[in-house]
Amino acid sequence: MRYLTMRFLPVCIILAHIVFTNAAFAQNFRASVVKVDITPDNSQQLLGYQARKSTGVHDKIYHRIAAMDDGKTQFYIISTDICLISPSQYDKLTARLQKQLGITPMQVWWAATHTHSAPEVGPAGLPSVFLGDRYKHEFDAQYTDLVEQKIVDGMVEAKKNLAPAKLGTGWGSSNANINRRARSIEGKTSLGMNPDGPVDRRIGLLRLEKADGSLLALIANYAMHGTVMSGENLLISGDGPGIVSEYVEQKTGAPLLYINGAAGNIAPIYSVYPSPAAGRLNQFKAMLGEKIIDASKTITATSNQVTLKAAGTIVEIPRKEGLGWPDDLKNYTRTTKAGVNMIRLPVRFLKVNDDVAIWSAPLELFCEISNEVRDRSPFPYTFYFGYTNGWLGYLLAEEELQYGGYEPTVSPYAPGAAKSLTEAVVNYLQGDMRSGH
């Protein structure tokens, strides 16, 4: 018996070491969050609506950066209180991050909250093709450089501050939005309100906690245009998304990264008013901010056993015939041997453990598309992050093309785009992402 005990003791020690090592690796999840003020101290061209310059500041605007590390993969999400950026600006930033910090583009998502009351950042990109009258001026290179530098500085700080953490996921709901494709009796469509139109009122939520269980940060995914205020407003503001983020932070003591969803056809319930007061901007604290806080309280099953997997694919979609293309986006188009001009649409994916799938695209997507992807996804938590890593236009639900209106006019995609994107994303979720390849 003593011989057998001595013989099997080393085996037991080895097995115990393997179990302990695997447990230690699984519990090696770390996270951090950084908030950086990017409010300009001078007048700026505002992006959204007609060309116009700011006359002051209503509320400050920020970068909010969340960093996550599972011991093997580092991943960064940046939420910025701006309207949108060209994909070329994202490429410029990520090339710098890779050179200076060794962080690859696949590890970084840069999402714009889509407020229409914040300064331009970088070149106009695709909007200049449809709305050239808005971009007869040069963009402010000095402010753009400041915005970029503050991301780099924030990423350095976020990487340095990584600490043991836990993560949880949940759903919430808010009635703060409404379909904006108003339909006349003749079937014509204009920007307005359509209470009977498709909408997505779910709040997708990631809760990051410190090792002791206290709140580190919230990442809230909700579809809503940043258009509480109209083009008459000349004050810099985060609009609805910014006001909600600041309110949640004041109430919880932790930053909120607001990540817009498929808001291409979704407006705030109070929309395009001349001023914050007229637009009831503060009411969004209750309509959406409180709903985010309530939803975060229901996430009780947080864990330090987290694995992250980042991936991406290119979906090619024919663009409209005769449509021009900006010089800074040459990497996002190609011409087939048959002479068809294709848009090369980058779609990114993030898998968190086996139950969370997040996909993103540089699109102003109609909610019907992301709703269908979510319904067909094998993952119980499937979120769409819109306005991410640039902007390549509106991509509409196919049935909406017949009604015309603003969005079909400024969409660069030929008919059939919705089906092409939907099938590509669903196939990836059901195939490579589910299998873990």
Of 276, 275, 272, nearest to 284 by C-alpha is: 276
Q: Give me the pLDDT at residue 303, please.
A: 96
pLDDT at 16: 42
> Can you tell me the distance from the alpha carbon of 265 to that of 189, in angstroms, rounded to the nearest whole number?
11
pLDDT for 15 equals: 41
Greatest pairwise CA separation for the chain in angstroms: 92
| Per-residue model confidence (pLDDT) at position 9 | 44
What's the pLDDT score for residue 360?
98
- As a whole number of angstroms, the distance between CA 345 and CA 329 comes to 11
The Cα 362–Cα 268 span in angstroms is 21
**Model pLDDT, residue 27:** 59
C-alpha 83: how far from its chain's center? 12
CA distance 301 to 170: 10
- 362-386 in b/e form (b: 16+ CB < 10 A) is bbbbbbbbbbbbbeebebebbbbbb
CA angle 192, 198, 202 (to 5 degrees): 110
Query: Residue 277 has what pLDDT?
Result: 95
Confidence at residue 386, expressed as pLDDT on a 0 to 100 scale:
98
Task: Report d(CA 337, CA 206) in Å as an integer.
Answer: 45
pLDDT at position 1 is 45
Q: How many CB atoms lie within 10 A of CB 14?
A: 10
Distance between CA 139 and CA 312 in Å, rounded?
30
Three-class HEC string of the chain: CHHHHHHHHHHHHHHHHHHHHHHHHHCCCEEEEEEEECCCCCCCEEECCCCEECCEECCCCEEEEEEEECCCCEEEEEEECCCCCCHHHHHHHHHHHHHHHCCCHHHEEEEECCECCEECCCCCCCHHHHCHHHHCCCCCHHHHHHHHHHHHHHHHHHHHCCEEEEEEEEEEECCCEEECEEECCCCCEEECCCCCCCCCCEEEEEEEEECCCCEEEEEEEECCCECCECCCCCEECCHHHHHHHHHHHHHHCCCEEEEECCCCCEEECCCCECCCCCCCCCHHHHHHHHHHHHHHHCCCCCECCCCEEEEEEEEEEEECCCCCCCHHHHHHEEECCCCCEEEEEEEEEEEECCCEEEEECCCEECHHHHHHHHHHCCCCEEEEECCECCCCCEECCHHHHHHCCHHHHCCCECCCHHHHHHHHHHHHHHHHHHHCC
Q: How far is CA 67 from the centre of its chain?
A: 15
Residue type (1 letter), 20: F
pTM of the model: 0.93
Question: Is residue 238 within 8 Å of residue 59, measured between CB atoms?
Answer: yes
Query: What pLDDT, on a 0 to 100 scale, did the predictor assign at position 435?
Result: 79
Residues making up the chain, counted from first to last: 437
Sheet holding 52-53, edge to edge: 52-53, 45-47, 118-119
Interatomic CA distance for residues 217 and 254, integer angstroms: 5
Give the model's pLDDT for residue 437: 56
- What per-residue confidence (pLDDT) applies to 3? 45
Question: In terms of Cα–Cα distance, which of 230, 241, 235, 208 is closest to 80?
Answer: 241
List beta partners, residue 236.
57
pLDDT tens per residue, the chain (437 residues)?
A: 444 444 444 444 444 443 333 444 445 899 999 999 999 999 999 999 999 999 999 999 999 999 999 999 999 999 999 999 999 999 999 999 999 999 999 999 999 999 999 999 999 999 999 887 888 889 999 999 999 999 999 999 999 999 999 999 999 999 999 999 999 998 889 999 999 999 999 999 999 999 999 999 999 999 999 999 999 999 999 999 999 999 999 999 999 999 999 999 999 999 999 999 999 999 999 999 999 999 999 999 999 999 999 999 999 999 999 999 999 999 999 999 999 999 999 999 999 999 999 999 999 999 999 999 999 999 999 999 999 999 999 999 999 999 999 999 999 999 999 999 999 999 999 998 887 65
Residue 86 has phi, psi (to 5 degrees) of -75, 145
Rg (CA), the chain: 23
